């Protein structure tokens, strides 16, 4: 059972997706995605800059699950921003995945010709190549710079989000247009401090759940889409097993109180865009 959330364009997205960031394209991504699909995931998140779109596509085909039952997200890399470059990047992702459409496609990093790239995504959505379009790593400052220029409002903003970094300011801005948060690093990127937090583990003991399951349940109850990543078959299964319990309002408030207001990644820091383009090259 994977609860679905309706996006502001009417597209339905499973609330729990399987993240593939930093899973290498050496057969590991293929194995992990196949494992996730067999465990019941129907939402897989990849990106051009993860270099593993081909293995994701192959795992989907080999799973024997009908394509229309699986929600596939990928992301356009900054080296393909600008209107003409973005058209090349979109087709590149489709070719790598071996698919004729993607369910969701995001601008992966908000640097360079964001508006030009977004126009290409809008057109690809109209053409049926992409069902839904969104952005990623947009802070309040970046959001207010670019989104007012867009003809189509994004359906999601995929950002770093976990109980220690709850992103309340950008969530408030996005909520006015019913834009959903997708959490990357929903478990604090495996933060030991977070996963051993006494308040979280106490809630878990009450329900017979581990800390990770409590965290993911909290985020989903807050209306967020979560993308936990694991290559451990047992962890892959347990991260999806969060729909047989509900946190009380008191427990939700305990979780909300853990927010520090700080993230590890700062998209507003100077030089981030240049660093990403230099260090993650993508060929056409």
- Give me the domains of the chain, ranges plus CATH numbers: 10-276 (3.20.20.100)
pLDDT digits (tens, 9 = 90+) for 152-209: 999 999 999 999 999 999 999 999 999 999 999 999 988 899 999 999 999 999 999 9
How would DSSP label each residue in 228-261? ---S-HHHHHHHH--SS----HHHHHHHHTT--S
DSSP conformational letter for 38: H
Q: How large a percentage of the chain has pLDDT more than 90?
A: 96
* Residue 256 vs residues 213, 239, 247: alpha-carbon distances, Å: 16, 20, 12
**pLDDT greater than 80 at residue 2:** no
Q: In 3D, which of 139, 178, 156, 186 has the Cα closest to residue 75?
A: 156
pLDDT, tens only, 242-273: 999 999 999 999 999 999 999 999 999 999 99
Give the catalytic positions in this structure.
50
Whether 1 shows a pLDDT value over 80: the answer reads: no
pLDDT at 75 over 60: yes
The arithmetic mean of pLDDT across residues 113-137, rounded, is 98
Average pLDDT over all residues of the chain: 96
State if pTM tops 0.95: yes
């Amino acid at each position: 059972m994977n609860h679905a959330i309706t996006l502001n364009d009417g597209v339905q997205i499973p609330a729990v997706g399987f993240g593939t960031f930093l899973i290498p394209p050496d057969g590991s991504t293929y194995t992990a995605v196949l494992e996730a699909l067999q465990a019941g995931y129907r939402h897989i998140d990849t990106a051009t800059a993860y270099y593993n779109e081909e293995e994701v596509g192959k795992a989907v085909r080999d799973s024997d699950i009908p394509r229309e039952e699986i929600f596939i997200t990928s992301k356009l890399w900054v080296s393909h921003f600008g209107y003409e470059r973005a058209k090349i990047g979109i087709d590149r992702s489709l070719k790598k995945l071996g698919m004729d459409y993607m369910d969701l496609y995001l601008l992966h990093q908000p640097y360079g010709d964001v508006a030009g790239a977004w126009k290409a995504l809008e057109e690809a959505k109209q053409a049926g190549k992409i069902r839904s379009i969104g952005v990623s790593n947009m802070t309040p400052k970046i959001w207010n710079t670019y989104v007012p220029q867009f003809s189509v409002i994004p359906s999601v903003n995929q950002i770093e989000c976990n109980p220690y970094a709850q992103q309340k300011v950008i969530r408030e801005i996005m909520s006015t247009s019913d834009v959903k948060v997708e959490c990357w690093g929903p478990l604090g990127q495996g933060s030991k401090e977070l996963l051993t937090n006494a308040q979280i583990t106490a809630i878990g003991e009450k329900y017979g759940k581990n800390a990770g399951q409590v965290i993911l349940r909290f985020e989903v109850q807050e209306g967020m889409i979560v993308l936990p990543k694991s290559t451990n078959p047992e962890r892959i299964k347990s991260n999806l097993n969060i729909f047989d319990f509900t946190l009380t309002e008191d427990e939700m408030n305990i979780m909300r109180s853990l927010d520090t207001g700080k993230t590890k990644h700062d998209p507003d820091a100077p030089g981030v865009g240049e660093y990403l383009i230099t260090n993650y090259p993508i060929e056409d």
